[in-house]
Each structure stands twice: as structure tokens, then as C-alpha cells.
Homo-oligomer: A and B are copies of this chain.
Amino acid sequence: MKGLGATGGAGLAYGAMSTLGLAPSTAAPARTFQPLAAGDLIGKVKGSHSVVVLGGGPAGLCSAFELQKAGYTVTVLEARTRPGGRVWTARGGTEETDLSGETQKCTFSEGHFYNVGATRIPQSHITLDYCRELGVEIQGFGNQNANTFVNYQSGTSLSGQSVTYRAAKADTFGYMSELLKKATDQGALDQVLSREDKDALSEFLSDFGDLSDDGRYLGSSRRGYDSEPGAGLNFGTEKKPFAMQEVIRSGIGRNFSFDFGYDQAMMMFTPVGGMDRIYYAFQDRIGTDNIVFGAEVTSMKNVSEGVTVEYTAGGSKKSITADYAICTIPPHLVGRLQNNLPGDVLTALKAAKPSSSGKLGIEYSRRWWETEDRIYGGASNTDKDISQIMFPYDHYNSDRGVVVAYYSSGKRQEAFESLTHRQRLAKAIAEGSEIHGEKYTRDISSSFSGSWRRTKYSESAWANWAGSGGSHGGAATPEYEKLLEPVDKIYFAGDHLSNAIAWQHGALTSARDVVTHIHERVAQEA
């Protein structure tokens, strides 16, 4: 299968052998996605073929959905009692016992929720095409907000102060423009810039930095007002800029590049009502008859007739044999299954290192962030352990809402991981109130937290490939490449086998590649 994806993805690779002729034409423009539609991935299979899918997260459900369209008999075995895997939405009624044995019951008000795992979708991701195909309604997700705060420690007077993004940007861009204009005017860049370049650059900088006629940054309405301008002679009171040195040394600009990162730049989207809506929609299309929930796989073996999988469900041991298996169980958990995988595959699976991430949601009975801080969605960022505070993208202007009081990863998440929920809440409130003030501690109705290292059937937020420098994909290690190959009739799929680790897009495209590969093999063997 190596190299398959590189030829242009599932549709192209299989195009030639589509029995229905519905595969996308190879003449499609390179830069655009082919929107999915029923049957467009692969043609119908001839004869009867079965596939058992291990795991009912994005990779598993997408595999099952596409295989069914192509005429395969599919059974999904999912250990949890819900679809979606790391796409998990906590709402009133959600109950979870973590690996430390602590049970939390979520008591958020009707209609309120937060996504403990996946929460946002960039425009380029195939996830949006599946939303279209499955009829899952989407809405804008606030991934950038001029009114949220940055709050960092530094050796300046801004240390530990909450500064709005709008002020931080206006000052940073203002001084940056002033400095570059000054250097240019002084001839410091004459080796690289012609007269004409300098004029054009200067014009850009004046606008971008909101500079005065003599090229200085003296503050800007972009920073906002201490009192809002209104009618008549109420001109508002513009906030004063910070000093250049403070702006540079305080590091308040450290997160700006997030705003135009490839997969975080606005516009961003999310399903109305929670990310898990996508996987309930997959479930409906696949049919609950074809998904066994509460089915914990314990064994997976290549046998002469195909693949035999053993699992426990409802307290009893069961077994299923199918022509092929797609294993979407997180890689670091696969080795725990009884198996007859070769040693090099088991070694390769160990190279996918588990990582820490988690969130805590607080339901407030008052949307103080809107009425007092004028923040409607988006996130405040900090170098405290909480890392960020994410404001709800739903129920705007209503009387209550769920704030994600932390979404942290790595070391900062480890500071929460070993705590009980009550301790996590206390720490989250203590840190959050240093950013949004004393009101952060009041009007709390309830809360719910999740730590992925401590969550059964995940035990990790996402995989870091040993030797890849902890990147989210794009660096194929030998172990990664190894797992792209099937082991006889067993295929591996999941976001860990993609260049979009920690994104549903990675899991979905991985599933599509594997489905295409199986189908191609079946066609060749026929």
C-alpha cells in the first residue's frame, strides 16, 4: 500500500476499476477536494465479502460506511457504548469511570455540552465533506477573537496582566511596522530593497501598523476603548498603547501565528450540537445491527479463512471470523491483544508513543464573558497550566453556558492528570480567575473533566511517532511505513497513520485508503 496515497488518494487509485463508473475523474483539478457522494469512492464488489472493523471511532465508522456502500458485509466491534472514540461530547447524562477508578456524572443543563476530544474542523478537511454527505449541520467555530485575553509571565510590567488580543496585535504590529519602516528609511535594507520596493513596503506598513504621518506608532482605535463610543459627543476613550519595550519583551505576540496556521486559520467549523453528531450519523447509516457496542476485543489473529477476532460483550466471550479485518484500536493498545502479529509489527506499534491532553468544562449560570468581557466565543491564552480558556460557540446571549476551563497537552496536562476531578476544578478556577477575575469563581453550576491518558480504550490523546520529532504527521518513520502495509488480512487505520495526526481528517483519509486497498485486492483476486 506504500505510495498509494501519494498517487492522489483513494478515489484516484481505484478510479479505473470502479464497476459503476462513479469514481472521480482523473481530470479533476488538483487543488480541490472531490466532494464525497454515495458510491463515489469505489464501485460495487462482486460476490460476498466480509470485513470486521475493530473500533467505532472515526476511522472505524468511516471504513464501515464506505465498505457497505461497496457491497461488503461489515461488523464493527466497539468497546465503548457510544460511537466516535476520541470524538466525545460531554452533556447531561454522560457518565465515565476513568482508569484511576473515579466516576464522574455530567449534569450540564439540557442542550449544553462541550467536546472533550475533537472540537473544530478546518475548511480543507474531508470531515466537512462527510458532514455534507451525512446531513450533519455545521456552524462557525470561534477560533480567533480580538476580545479574548493573553496573559503570560514575563520580566515586564505586563507580566500576569490580561491583555486583549486586539490590543496585543495593534501594539505588536504597530511597533513592528514602525521599526521596519525606520530601518528601511535609514537605508539599512538597500541591498535587498529597491526604491520602488521601499515605497510599496512603506505604504503597506503605514496601514498595517496604523502609523502616524511621520511613521510612528502612537496607539490605535484597533486596541479598543475604555468606554465604548456612542452617540452625540461620546467619542469613547481609546485605550493607551503599551511601551515598545514592554510589547517586545512581554511576549504577548507569541500566539499570533496560530491565527494563520494551516489548519487553525478562520473560518473554522463544528457540527451544531457537538462533534459526536457526525458519528451518530455514521451509526445511523451503517445500522446498529452492524455495530456491536460494549464489545471489547481481546484477540485478533490471521487464520486460513481470514481473520478471527475474539471479544467480550455483555459478560460473555464471542468470536467472529471475516475475510479481512481493519484494526483502528489505538496503536499502543494493539500489542495487548492476543495476536499472531510478526515481531517487527509489534515493534513498530510500540513506536507510536501515547501523549497527554485533557479538558475541563464548567457550566456557568451566567454568561459573564459576554455581558462583562464582551467575549463571544474564541479562547484566552496563557502560560499557566490551563493553557487556554475556550468560550462556548453555542447558546450565545442566553442565560448559561459551558466554558472549557482548560485544554492543555503534554507537561501542562500532566499537572492535571493525576488530580481528582475536584482538585482539577479548584486548580482551573484558581488559574482562570487570575485571567478573567473574581467573577470566574462565581455562578458555577457543575463541571466535568476528561484526561485522555486516564480514559479507558484510549489511554492517549494522540500518537507521537518515535523519531519524528513529535510532529503531527508529515514525517514517515520506518515504523510508520511498516504499519501502512497489511499483515496478511489485517489492516491498520487511524489518524496515527496519516499526516493529520490529532485530526479526524487523518482518521477518515486513512480509512478511505485502507478501504480502497482492500477493494483493489478483492478485485484482483476475483
A419: which B residues are within 8 A, CB to CB? none
| Cβ B374 vs Cβ A124 within 8 A | yes
- A333-347 interface mask toward B, CB cutoff 8 Å, 1 = contact, 0 = none? 000000000000000
| Cβ A147 vs Cβ B267 within 8 A | yes
User: In the assembly, what is the distance between CA of A192 and CA of B244, in Å?
Assistant: 9
> Do A232 and B484 contact each other (CB < 8 Å), given the known contacts A139-B140, A397-B131?
yes
| Cβ A232 vs Cβ B4 within 8 A | yes
From A198, which residue of chain B is reached at the shortest CB distance? Answer: B248
From A6, which residue of chain B is reached at the shortest CB distance? Answer: B233
| Cβ B232 vs Cβ A6 within 8 A | yes
A469 at the interface (CB under 8 A from B): no
A30: which B residues are within 8 A, CB to CB? 226-227, 237
A314 at the interface (CB under 8 A from B): no
User: In the assembly, what is the distance between CA of A170 and CA of B259, in Å?
Assistant: 11
User: In the assembly, what is the distance between CA of A363 and CA of B140, in Å?
Assistant: 21
| Cβ A208 vs Cβ B253 within 8 A | yes
User: In the assembly, what is the distance between CA of A249 and CA of B173, in Å?
Assistant: 20
| Cβ B232 vs Cβ A266 within 8 A | no
Partner pick for A192 among B140, B179, B396, CB 8 A cutoff: B179
A253: which B residues are within 8 A, CB to CB? 204, 208
A158 at the interface (CB under 8 A from B): no
A224: which B residues are within 8 A, CB to CB? 124, 262
A251 at the interface (CB under 8 A from B): yes
From A138, which residue of chain B is reached at the shortest CB distance? Answer: B396
From A375, which residue of chain B is reached at the shortest CB distance? Answer: B123
| Cβ B474 vs Cβ A260 within 8 A | no
> Do A372 and B222 contact each other (CB < 8 Å), given the known contacts A145-B266, A233-B5, A265-B146?
no
8 Å CB contacts to B: which residues of A1-32? 1-6, 8-9, 29-32
A229 at the interface (CB under 8 A from B): yes
A192: which B residues are within 8 A, CB to CB? 179, 182, 244
A374: which B residues are within 8 A, CB to CB? 32-33, 123-124
User: In the assembly, what is the distance between CA of A137 and CA of B8, in Å?
Assistant: 43
A316 at the interface (CB under 8 A from B): no
| Cβ A138 vs Cβ B267 within 8 A | no
From A8, which residue of chain B is reached at the shortest CB distance? Answer: B227
A204: which B residues are within 8 A, CB to CB? 172, 248, 251, 253-254
8 Å CB contacts to B: which residues of A374-424? 374-378, 393, 396-397
* Stretch of A64-72, A288-296, A427-435, A492-500 at the chain-chain interface: A492-500
* Stretch of A80-88, A108-116, A323-331, A506-514 at the chain-chain interface: A506-514
A52 at the interface (CB under 8 A from B): no
A230 at the interface (CB under 8 A from B): yes
* Least CB distance, A110 to chain B, in whole angstroms: 17
From A2, which residue of chain B is reached at the shortest CB distance? Answer: B233
A499: which B residues are within 8 A, CB to CB? 229-231, 234-236
A249: which B residues are within 8 A, CB to CB? 196-197, 200
A3: which B residues are within 8 A, CB to CB? 232-233
| Cβ B208 vs Cβ A257 within 8 A | yes
| Cβ B269 vs Cβ A396 within 8 A | yes
| Cβ B35 vs Cβ A2 within 8 A | no
* Least CB distance, A198 to chain B, in whole angstroms: 9
| Cβ B377 vs Cβ A232 within 8 A | no
User: In the assembly, what is the distance between CA of A160 and CA of B520, in Å?
Assistant: 44
A218 at the interface (CB under 8 A from B): no
User: In the assembly, what is the distance between CA of A137 and CA of B376, in Å?
Assistant: 13
A169: which B residues are within 8 A, CB to CB? 260
A180 at the interface (CB under 8 A from B): yes
| Cβ B2 vs Cβ A232 within 8 A | yes
- A152-171 interface mask toward B, CB cutoff 8 Å, 1 = contact, 0 = none? 00000000000000100110
8 Å CB contacts to B: which residues of A469-517? 473-474, 476, 481, 484, 493, 497-500, 505-506, 509-510, 512-513
> Do A5 and B142 contact each other (CB < 8 Å), given the known contacts A249-B197, A374-B33?
no
A201: which B residues are within 8 A, CB to CB? 179, 248
> Do A506 and B188 contact each other (CB < 8 Å), given the known contacts A260-B146, A267-B145?
no
User: In the assembly, what is the distance between CA of A266 and CA of B141, in Å?
Assistant: 11
The 7 closest A-B pairs by CB, nearest first: A5-B234, A188-B188, A140-B140, A5-B232, A183-B183, A146-B265, A230-B509
> Could you give 23 example pairs across A and B, Cβ below 8 Å?
A6-B233, A29-B372, A30-B226, A32-B372, A123-B145, A124-B374, A137-B396, A146-B266, A147-B267, A166-B262, A173-B260, A179-B180, A183-B184, A192-B244, A208-B253, A222-B265, A230-B509, A230-B512, A230-B513, A231-B498, A231-B510, A232-B513, A234-B499
